[in-house]
Amino acid sequence: MNQHMETGTIDTILRAFEQGDIATLVNHIDDNIDFRIDHYQDATDVNWQKAANKTELLALLQRLGTEVFPKGTKMIEVSSTHLGGHWVITKLHQQFYYGVQAQMVDSETWIVSHSKAGKCDYFRETVTNVLPLAAAV
């Protein structure tokens, strides 16, 4: 299978998120998504950052937009690698105004995803850091 076809779904979802294009994002999500965002060594409450279907995901995205990304995000790097069997690992480097901390930040995350027929049915993001932009440079 072509690596671009395998990585294309997650890349499309991430670019749609960056552009605020929720319709495209949701169009590439399976009805039974297993979605969760975790934070590595961070006390941030992320218990609400999980979804089991599109309805829950839409509510999560609305809250993310309000609390975490009130000014959107700028993706610096999106690098996806096909792992086989429709699994992909993605390194995401982004900068955004972090509503929780009320400051510009730089963040790197790792995403493991599974997609089939253009629909993502598994998404695990591990946020490895969220640093004030001045400290990240």
pLDDT tens digits for range 57-103: 999 999 999 999 999 999 999 999 999 999 999 999 999 999 989 99
d(CA 98, CA 104): 6
Q: Look at the alpha carbons of 26, 27, 31, 37 in this order and tell me if their dihedral is positive or negative.
A: negative
Q: Distance (Å, rounded) from C-alpha 63 to C-alpha 78?
A: 23
Q: Which fold has domain 3-136?
A: Nuclear Transport Factor 2; Chain: A, (3.10.450)
Across all residues in the chain, what is the average pLDDT? Answer: 91
CA 54/CA 33 separation, integer angstroms: 7
Distances from the Cα of 126 to the Cα of 42, 43, 55, angstroms: 11, 13, 22
How distant, in Å, are the alpha carbons of 42, 47, 77, 105 from that of 69? 18, 17, 17, 11
Task: Give me the residue spans of the domains in the chain.
Answer: 3-136
Run of H or E residues at 52: none
Q: What is the pLDDT of residue 6?
A: 59
Proportion of the chain above pLDDT 90, given as a percent? 83
CA distance 117 to 47: 29
The helix/strand/coil state of 20 is coil
